[in-house]
Amino acid sequence: MTTVRCQPFVCFSALLLLLIGGENARAQLSNLRTRWVATGSGTASTPLDTLGVLPGSLEILSPADSSWRLVFDSGTNTLLVRGRSLPDSVLVRYRTLPSHLGRSHFRRQLDASDSSAWYRESSLTGARANDPPETREEFFTTGGLHKSGSLTRGIAVGNTQNVFVNSALNLQLDGPLSDDLSLTAVISDQNVPFQPEGNTQQLQQFDKVFVQLGYQDRKAPVTRGTLTVGDIVMRNPLPNDGGTLRRTDGSPFAGRYGSRQPWASYFLRYYKNVQGGQVAAVYRLGNGGDSTLANARTSAGVAVAKGKFASVLVEATEGSQGPYRLRGPGNERFIVVLANSEKVYLDGQLLRRGFNFDYVIDYNQAEIVFNTNVVITKFSRIRVDFEYADRNYSRTILNAGHTQRTGGLTLSAGYYAERDNPRNPLLLDLSDEDKRLLSSVGDRLPDAVASGATRLDAYDPGLPLYRRTDTTANASPYPGVYVYATDPATARYQLQFTELGPGEGNYRLKNNAVNGRVYEWVAPVGGVPQGSFEPVRPLPAPAKKQLVTLGGEYALNEREALFGEMALSEQDVNLFSSLDAADDRGTAFKVGYVNRGRPLAFLPGYEWVGGVDYEHDSRHFRPIDRFRDIEYDRDWSANPDSAGAADRIFNVSVGVVVPAGRTDTTRVAAPDSLANQGSADRTDGRIANQRSADQLTYRLGRRMRGGEINGTQHRVELSKNLGGWWVRAEVFSLRNRQARLTSDWQRVRTELAHRGRRWVPGYVYRLDRNALTARNDSVVGTAMNFDEHQVYLRTNDSIRTRFGADYAYRRDNAPLAGRLVRNNVAHTANLLLNARIRDQDLALAFTYRQIANLNVKSDDPSTPPKEETLMGRLDWNADFFGRAVRSELSFAVATGRELKREYVFLPVPTGQGTHTWRDENGDGVKDLDEFYEAINFDERTYAKFFVPTDQYLRAYTNNFNYRLNLTPPRRWREGGALLAFFSKLSSVSSWSINRRMTDDRVWERFVPFAVIAPENILSNQEALRATLFFNRSNPRYGMDLAVLRSRQKQLLTNGFEGRNAQEYKLTARTNLRRDWSVRLANVRTVRTTQSDFLTSRNYRIETYQTKPELSYQPSNDFRLTTAYAYARKRNAFTENTAERATFHEVLLETRWTKVSERTWAATLRYAMIDFAGDPNTALGYEMLEALRPGNNLTWSVNWQQKLTGGLQLTLHYEGRRAAAAPAVHVGRVQLAALF
């Protein structure tokens, strides 16, 4: 990439012309025009041009007189010349735009098709219907399309920076294009490299392109289709968003096929975030049958993948809400999860994302934190399905599907294929040697490992580099050891390290102050490696996946059907190699019979349901994504990640149920126990939250898969209403005879509840007994083995105030010496309250859990004999005294983990960063203590990025947010002298604390303002803002006192880093006359930074400043301000620190505004600084505010001009000059088009 430096004013002018006129200059005819304009009439009545004119391009060529002024009206395109001694005409040069933007453009007039246009009238203004309507200013008109957004292009230049261009696009379109076509488009491109935060249920994507064309045949309403292009989601089965076969009135068809969509393939399941196109159409084939029903659907798509699918099991920690780090299926340490691609399951239940729901996720860090309404225990089963970014190879995806119904027969076919392009690696650089290695290993990908060392031709001070040497340790020689070095003569190796695990590598991370990670070699002990890293790099291989399905369903009658589906899969994990190809292809099929409900003559109101099916998956069958239930393999005591054996599954089910939707006022709806409303141990979520009718069902399952599964399942489910009582029971049994082990599993869940007018008491009993037994009858393992009793009490749904409480007693068993023994005893209590009392809203959720570990070894400090978990959240909003006092409180406590982090600084385009680098020691190496938080725009060339680690510390979390607004009642103004005085006072305050600590005492955990020893605080973010106003709404005079206090502390791998700030500001204002005002501000600030490893960042800056200000404002359009500021600063970190600074500043600022047309502002600032200390340090940089000792001059000019309809031009220029230093100039220009 070639960079260009130029003088600022030259580049500024040239780039402005390029930005505005560059596109039109490439047209066949130039947009630069000249014309003689008459001046004698004194009015501008003749349009200057038939096209739009760019106002900023107007200039007088002849005769030349600088005192003449051009007045241009962009709405009428007319020009008026003002000045003295004007000739009869002048020669004007200007540039045109493609069209007259001040004129309406249309294909046909609205009045021609609007029979009521002649009578429309406004009762307020008296405007008739035929008067021209008010139009919204926009860059272009789009008829019936609704649109919003803007397009921005900008350029920045300077004599100390390179030229760079920034852009932002945000456009939404929605509406009809014709009678049959509609358009929906969301186009956003704002150069944002980050993904949205995963803390809400609905995500706002910052960088997205999405265009959808919809077609609806007006003559044949059953025919419709969509074409979607851009950032889309390819999924199967399709969502119920119009893909269901429907009648012409829009109602879904629920005839002989019931609620099952015929094209919902059993084997073909996937969810992919891609960039590409997808087309889908629903239509009717043939003339027979119901003409109001579409009977065919076809879809196809082609795209480029953004990532890979993964399903991982997360190990839970007792009482810890997180964060929990997600890794890739290949144990990739740092991954980026694609936004909105995750599905988080807890104990088999799908959770909801959001602060007010179950969890939040950081997509960029791949971290999940569970909220306080979900209790995490060491028995919790957390599995997450997600897509993560993978840019090794360009991956193409093809999909297609077709479904057609003829009479009672429905046939469907599906196809999906994804393939990496071996010839087009993206972020991967493969040498010929790497490709030969990949071609020789076949499917044995763990053997495809290459060296991570690269020898550079020249020394690069911006990278951590190493030298290669031979060394000796413990009397043994070790050749080829890499050592971190900064000597340009020897530091020539750039290394890529891979984490292999403890005791598997010879290198470990080294704590240092270098901008980047540094590894050090550690000698083996007894031939056993002592590190976790090696300078090697696994070689990813291009892969291919493909699946073809063909299925059908034949309806025997309206309630019974036969169905079947077959699938052919192909998966090649290494396209570079032709070896091991025998296991690439596999087949699978499933056939069965289903009865969706036949009335029972001997039991009115009930139906019997049932079915039978058989499934066979060959040994090498590989699906695209997981296609069975998340807990399916677990219920068979099987590893869901295992493969390599044929799978045969036989199922039979029969039952008696009350049809869904049947109304019976004598029955009582099933109550949701408190445990199923968001608290812990939601053991079986399949029917836990259903308000099910009466039913009794039985299911038998038989499965055989190699030597892993040879078992039988039995499952019985019962629910029954008995007057005001409701009872439910579930029984599950499994016996699985494996090659060496036998798995026996029994699960029982019963619930009894009574629904009264106000209260619903209930009792729940759970039993879960699983044991893996060897041939000698010794127990070697268990998936779960416990029994639990739970009682609950909650209010009826009809009660406005919601209250609920439950208590659970649970006993867990674990194998010990070949038999099951009592291992844990747990007590869990939950409390829930939601109430509204007059002007107050109260929500409370509290959980207490105590678990006793009975078989703890005395020498095992990791597992205490007893563990306690306290977790809760309080939300309270209140208004008092007629909303004179408004209070908002949110407080949450929990137990979690604090992650040790590292950070690095990476270069970014000028102005988009946060830090600047100054080489203090002159060695060219970018050390961490040489990066300062930048103040000037042109110095913001580096951004700070945090790099997570796998080092966690247990922490108690405390999150407190409080806001208080005080506004005296209006009637106090008419009271006595005392009330009138207090009526002039008002205040706004907020206090937030987000703290993680190791102190487990109750007072410190539950009192947010408790004093905690610094060594017990792992991280802290605290901010207190309070402002007291006097005469806030009085324009003549007033005062305010503002207080700001903030504290920050962060846990890093090298220690702690903290920042504290205090600011007290007293401001008084008064109007001397109508045009003149005075303002006086007195400020005291204290800023403290502390670092355990960057000693140069330990300082405390105390500042005292006074600033009088005088303003002149003769009208709303113009304002002139002058000010003088005197400030004293000193470093008071220790008694020995002597850095001091004295500031004398003079400020002149002017602003001219014409509403809705232009804004012009200019600032001139002179600062004389007397400084005692080293200015080339982080402390000196902050104390001097990025200036230099002595005389400093800074200036800035900002001009924002509204051009012709919808266009807005912004020009910004700033500069500074210090004593004995060259001047710095920075200019930016930006053009925005409003849609």
The answer on pLDDT for 491 being more than 70 is yes
Higher pLDDT pick, 100 / 1134: 1134
**Share of residues in the chain with pLDDT > 90 (%):** 32
Spatial CA neighbour of 719 closest among 768, 759, 660, 769: 660
**What is the distance between the alpha carbons of residues 711 and 721, in angstroms, rounded to a whole number?**
34
- pLDDT tier at 737 (50, 70, 90 boundaries)? confident
**Which residues, listed in sequence order, are joined to residue 282 by a DSSP beta bridge?**
224, 297
**What is the distance between the alpha carbons of residues 24 and 822, in angstroms, rounded to a whole number?**
82
pLDDT tens figures, 249-292: 333 333 323 334 445 889 999 999 899 999 998 888 776 656 56
pLDDT tens figures, 86-106: 676 777 777 777 655 555 554
pLDDT tens figures, 874-909: 999 998 887 889 999 999 999 888 888 888 888 888
**What's residue 1179's pLDDT?**
86
Q: Which of 191-195, 269-273, 276-280, 1067-1071 has the lowest mean pLDDT?
A: 191-195
The answer on pLDDT for 322 being more than 60 is yes
Spatial CA neighbour of 298 closest among 275, 278, 321, 274: 278
Q: Which of 257-266, 1023-1032, 1186-1195 has the lowest mean pLDDT?
A: 257-266
Sorted by sequence, the CB contacts under 8 Å of residue 912 that are 6+ apart come out as: 166, 940, 943
- Joined tokens for residue 1064: 């007290």
Q: Mean pLDDT, to the nearest integer, of 967-973?
A: 84
Higher pLDDT pick, 27 / 555: 555
Q: Mean pLDDT, to the nearest integer, of 366-375?
A: 90
**What's residue 918's pLDDT?**
83
Q: Mean pLDDT, to the nearest integer, of 202-207?
A: 52
**What's residue 775's pLDDT?**
79
Positions of E strands within 774-801: 779-781, 785-795
**Share of residues in the chain with pLDDT > 70 (%):** 83
Which residue do the tokens 């066949």 mark? 28
Higher pLDDT pick, 383 / 236: 383
Spatial CA neighbour of 174 closest among 226, 214, 128: 214
Higher pLDDT pick, 424 / 103: 424
Q: Which of 54-63, 318-327, 612-621 has the lowest mean pLDDT?
A: 54-63
- Do 680 and 666 meet the contact criterion of CB atoms below 8 Å apart? no
- Do 375 and 871 meet the contact criterion of CB atoms below 8 Å apart? yes
Matching CATH number, 631-880, of 2.40.160, 3.40.50, 2.40.128, 2.160.20 = 2.40.160
The answer on pLDDT for 612 being more than 70 is yes
Neighbours of 731 (CB within 10 A): 16
The answer on pLDDT for 247 being more than 70 is no
Higher pLDDT pick, 186 / 1047: 1047
Higher pLDDT pick, 761 / 462: 761
- Joined tokens for residue 753: 């509840």
DSSP state of 1214: E
Spatial CA neighbour of 617 closest among 651, 656, 590: 590
| Distances in whole angstroms, Cα of residue 59 to Cα of each of 88, 91, 330 | 17, 9, 66
**What's residue 126's pLDDT?**
37
Q: Mean pLDDT, to the nearest integer, of 431-435?
A: 89
List the domain boundaries for the chain: 32-95, 309-391, 449-538, 631-880, 1099-1202
The answer on pLDDT for 941 being more than 90 is no
| Distances in whole angstroms, Cα of residue 606 to Cα of each of 66, 597, 603, 725 | 96, 9, 6, 20
- Do 279 and 299 meet the contact criterion of CB atoms below 8 Å apart? yes
**What's residue 113's pLDDT?**
38
Higher pLDDT pick, 1143 / 221: 1143
Q: Is the pTM of this model over 0.85?
A: no
Highest mean pLDDT among 9-23, 513-527, 686-700: 513-527
**What's residue 593's pLDDT?**
94
**What is the distance between the alpha carbons of residues 1021 and 993, in angstroms, rounded to a whole number?**
6
- Joined tokens for residue 580: 């091991």
- Do 942 and 906 meet the contact criterion of CB atoms below 8 Å apart? yes
**What's residue 191's pLDDT?**
53
DSSP state of 926: -
DSSP state of 1180: H
